[in-house]
Amino acid sequence: MIAQEIIRINPTLVNRLILAGTGPRGGKEVDKVTGKTFSFMFKAGLERIDPKRYIFYNHDEQGKIEALKVLGRMGMRTEEFADKDMNVSGFLTQLKAIKRWGKDSQDDLKFITQATLIVNGDKDMQVPTENSYDMHAKIENSKLIIYPNAGHGSIFQYADEFSTELIAFLED
């Protein structure tokens, strides 16, 4: 969302673009991210587990296993590299902006001429995977990677594979 706007406003600031787990302005169900987020957070709260489990990973047994692996790795980070506590005001502002972005008219994305890497899981329940295919079709100089049995957190679930693809894309 933000990267797409930066390119729209000043395309000379961006040489290469990476779009992971996102959609275009007015994309399918982008305006529903806020409701989905709160629903997943509520479900996680009832089960007393990290909300990232449902926000970023598939809701099946394999998704649970993958979430536990990634969340376990995150818990091993030193304080210097650990996630900061969530700023509730910033979080709500972000969700409001995403909702507005999703309700706007659809973009044709022709303004994006930079080499673009689009990445997602095949079952993103936050921002439907269909948006990744749509962006790939509309952005002429793009490469699409869809990871199997992965959701919104595909780049975390497939961290090694994504890192390899990312480095190759940036060095190309």
Its domain, for residue 22, covers 2-171
* 27, 109 Cβ separation under 8 angstroms: no
Average pLDDT per block of 10 residues along the chain, 172 residues long: 95 97 96 95 95 92 91 80 82 93 93 98 97 98 97 96 98 92
Buried/exposed code over 99-113 (b: 16+ C-beta within 10 A; e: otherwise): eebbeeeebebeebe
CA distance 79 to 92: 25
Q: Output the domain CATH number for residue 51.
A: 3.40.50.1820
pTM above 0.95, yes or no: no
- The pLDDT of residue 138 is 97
* 116, 144 Cβ separation under 8 angstroms: no
- The pLDDT of residue 161 is 98
- The pLDDT of residue 85 is 79
- The pLDDT of residue 116 is 98
- The pLDDT of residue 64 is 92
Number of domains in the chain: 1
Place of tokens 């972005």: 101
